[in-house]
């Protein structure tokens, strides 16, 4: 053990990056092939392995993309419960405010039809539905409910102006569709155009999300704008109410109060208050933090197991969220042996070491320089070594991979669980 301790202390590639400075923790990294890894399976296998070996004598902490998405899948049932609760609250509010079953069921039908069409089309386009997209799905479904509720409200307004006869429902539905078709289509097209702007992002996940959102919104043209008045035309007794509680007078009083304030001298107070809010919000926006500087992932709560493990690893090691700097050129197998490449690596490493915005740099550039020097000495000693030597990038296995353009590129790590 003493020899192992001294060997660790003498090796800069191990002491610090893989063994903590206080010699109380060690780091184990595992790489996966992104196209072949199954996050859910990896998560359950690693958790079961930890349960078998964890006897309380050591703390085992695991982070990485497979673990993160594994926790997301683990909490997915709770997410669906929240979605169902939000849907139930929406239906209760519609039932109380509109006082008709058509005001509850038809918006729900519009949301279900648009969701089924959008998910089916995305399946045909081979677009996967990520668990993190549930929030966007809820927002789009709420837009379907909103369009349908507007048509139902206009239908009820037309019923009050028409006499009760056999053609009342068809006439009211026809008028509602004729009056709200163009503004409804304008709203749908505007929503789709706003979501299409996200496609300009170079992130593939956001591009797929844009396709899903645009398809979902465009289905509202049929499920909400057209289907709702068609279903309203089949109602036989449109004048009946389910319960006697009428909240419309109360809402009208609130709106009348807002109108009176806006038309009286108090409007200057409203204008001044709004101006102060805008100025104050603009002032505080200057100190807005872009991104999340906390360890772990903003997807989960700060006190979650994943974020606690990430914080513990960051306190002892160089950091969980690493950035790999890739230096290479297609077709140039000897690039890493040139003096220009080694000088660029050395300058960049010194810049990182003296910058307070970065964590500890990796010692692989130093190893690459030493190995390049060793290869050069071996090449001068043996003529056959020069023809059989592999690419110098093999001396940098954890950080080097050749990109398509001949440039230096930085990319974050992925699919790398880290255990301590």
* Cβ-based neighbours of 195, under 8 Å, separated by 6 or more: 210, 213, 214, 217
What is residue 181's predicted lDDT score, i.e. its pLDDT? Answer: 93
What is residue 419's predicted lDDT score, i.e. its pLDDT? Answer: 46
Half-sphere exposure of 324 (CA within 13 A, CB side): 16
* Cβ-based neighbours of 111, under 8 Å, separated by 6 or more: 141, 144, 145, 148, 223
Q: Which residue has the tokens 């704008």?
A: 225
Per DSSP, the residues of 49-108 read HHHHH--SSS---EESHHHHHHHHHHTHHHHHHHHHHHHHHHHHHHHHHH-SSHHHHHHH
* Cβ-based neighbours of 276, under 8 Å, separated by 6 or more: none
Tell me the pLDDT band of 296, cut-offs 50, 70 and 90: confident
**In the predicted structure, residue 17 carries a pLDDT above the cut 50:** yes
Tell me the pLDDT band of 373, cut-offs 50, 70 and 90: low
Looking at 42-51, 155-164, 176-185, 332-341, which range is the least confident one? Answer: 332-341
- CA 302, distance to chain mean position in Å, is 17
**In the predicted structure, residue 360 carries a pLDDT above the cut 80:** no
Structure tokens at 70: 């594994």
Q: How far apart are CA 249 and CA 251, in angstroms?
A: 5
Tell me the pLDDT band of 397, cut-offs 50, 70 and 90: very low
**In the predicted structure, residue 11 carries a pLDDT above the cut 80:** yes
Task: Between 336 and 251, name the one with better pLDDT.
Answer: 251
Tell me the pLDDT band of 370, cut-offs 50, 70 and 90: low
Q: Is 333 left (phi over 0), alpha (psi -120 to 50) or beta?
A: alpha
Task: Between 16 and 174, name the one with better pLDDT.
Answer: 174
Question: Sign of torsion, CA 261 262 266 272?
Answer: positive
The helix/strand/coil state of 335 is helix
pTM of the model: 0.69
Give the angle subtended at the CA of 192 by the CAs of 191 and 196, to the nearest 5°.
120
Tell me the pLDDT band of 226, cut-offs 50, 70 and 90: very high
Q: Which residue has the tokens 């009760």?
A: 164
Task: Between 369 and 299, name the one with better pLDDT.
Answer: 299
Q: Model confidence over 90-140: pLDDT tens digits?
A: 999 999 988 888 889 999 999 999 989 888 888 888 887 777 778 888 888
What's the whole-number mean pLDDT along residues 73-96? 90
Q: Using alpha carbons only, how large is the chain's radius of gyration in Å? A: 31
**In the predicted structure, residue 274 carries a pLDDT above the cut 60:** yes
**In the predicted structure, residue 325 carries a pLDDT above the cut 90:** no
pLDDT above 90: percentage of residues in the chain: 20
Q: How far apart are CA 148 and CA 143, in angstroms?
A: 9
What is residue 183's predicted lDDT score, i.e. its pLDDT? Answer: 92
**In the predicted structure, residue 176 carries a pLDDT above the cut 80:** yes
What is residue 157's predicted lDDT score, i.e. its pLDDT? Answer: 87
Tell me the pLDDT band of 416, cut-offs 50, 70 and 90: very low
| Number of other residues whose CB lies within 10 A of the CB of residue 42 | 20
Winning range, highest mean pLDDT, from 1-10, 233-242, 254-263: 254-263
Q: What is the mean pLDDT of the chain?
A: 79
**In the predicted structure, residue 195 carries a pLDDT above the cut 90:** no
Task: Between 227 and 55, name the one with better pLDDT.
Answer: 227
Question: Sign of torsion, CA 350 352 353 356?
Answer: positive
**Helix or strand holding residue 379 (H, E):** helix 364-381
* Cβ-based neighbours of 404, under 8 Å, separated by 6 or more: 330
Structure tokens at 80: 């669906």
**Of residues 28, 33, 37, 61, the one with CA closest to residue 313:** 61
What's the whole-number mean pLDDT along residues 261-288? 90
**In the predicted structure, residue 384 carries a pLDDT above the cut 70:** no
Q: How far apart are CA 15 and CA 8, in angstroms?
A: 6
* Cβ-based neighbours of 138, under 8 Å, separated by 6 or more: 83, 86
What's the whole-number mean pLDDT along residues 359-385? 53
Q: How far apart are CA 92 and CA 246, in angstroms?
A: 14
**In the predicted structure, residue 292 carries a pLDDT above the cut 70:** no
The helix/strand/coil state of 323 is strand
What's the whole-number mean pLDDT along residues 345-367? 68
Which alpha helices (DSSP H) does 219-338 contain, by range? 220-223, 227-232, 248-263, 266-285, 305-316
Tell me the pLDDT band of 368, cut-offs 50, 70 and 90: low
* Cβ-based neighbours of 72, under 8 Å, separated by 6 or more: 131, 132, 299
Domain ranges of the chain: 329-402
């Amino acid at each position: 053990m003493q020899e192992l301790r001294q060997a660790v202390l003498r090796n800069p590639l191990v002491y610090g990056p893989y063994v903590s400075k206080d010699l109380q923790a060690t780091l184990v990294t595992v790489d996966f092939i992104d196209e072949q890894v199954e996050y859910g399976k990896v998560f359950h296998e690693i958790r079961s392995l930890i349960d078998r070996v964890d006897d309380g004598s050591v703390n085992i902490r695991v982070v990485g993309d497979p673990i993160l998405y594994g926790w997301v899948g683990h909490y997915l049932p709770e997410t669906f419960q929240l979605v169902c609760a939000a849907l139930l609250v929406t239906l209760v509010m519609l039932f109380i405010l509109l006082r008709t079953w058509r005001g509850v069921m038809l918006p729900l039908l519009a949301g279900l039809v648009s969701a089924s069409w959008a998910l089916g089309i995305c399946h045909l386009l081979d677009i996967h539905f990520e668990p993190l997209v549930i929030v966007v799905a809820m927002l789009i479904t709420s837009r379907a409910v909103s369009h349908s509720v507007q048509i139902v409200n206009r239908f009820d307004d037309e019923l009050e102006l028409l006499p009760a006869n056999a053609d009342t429902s068809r006439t009211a539905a026809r008028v509602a569709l004729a009056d709200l078709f163009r503004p409804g289509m304008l709203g749908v097209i505007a929503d789709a155009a706003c979501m299409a702007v996200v496609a300009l992002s170079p992130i593939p996940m956001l591009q797929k999300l844009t396709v899903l959102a645009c398809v979902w919104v465009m289905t509202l043209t049929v499920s909400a704008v057209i289907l709702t008045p068609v279903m309203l035309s089949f109602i036989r007794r449109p004048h009946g109410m389910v319960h006697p509680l009428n909240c419309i007078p109360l809402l009208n009083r609130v709106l009348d109060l807002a109108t009176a304030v806006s038309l009286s001298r108090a409007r200057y107070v409203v204008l001044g208050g709004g101006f102060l809010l805008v100025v104050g919000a603009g002032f505080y926006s200057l100190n807005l933090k872009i991104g999340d500087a906390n360890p772990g992932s903003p997807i989960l709560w700060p006190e979650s197991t994943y974020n606690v493990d990430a914080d513990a690893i960051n306190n002892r090691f160089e950091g969980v969220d690493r950035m790999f700097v890739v230096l290479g050129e297609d077709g140039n197998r000897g690039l890493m042996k040139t003096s220009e490449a080694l000088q660029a690596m050395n300058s960049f490493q010194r810049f990182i070491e003296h910058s307070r915005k970065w964590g500890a740099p990796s010692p692989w550039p130093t190893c690459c320089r030493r190995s390049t020097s060793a290869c050069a000495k071996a090449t001068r000693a043996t003529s056959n070594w020069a023809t059989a030597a592999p690419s110098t990038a093999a001396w940098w296995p954890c950080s080097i991979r050749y990109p398509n353009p001949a440039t230096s590129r930085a990319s974050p790590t992925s699919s790398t669980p880290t255990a301590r």
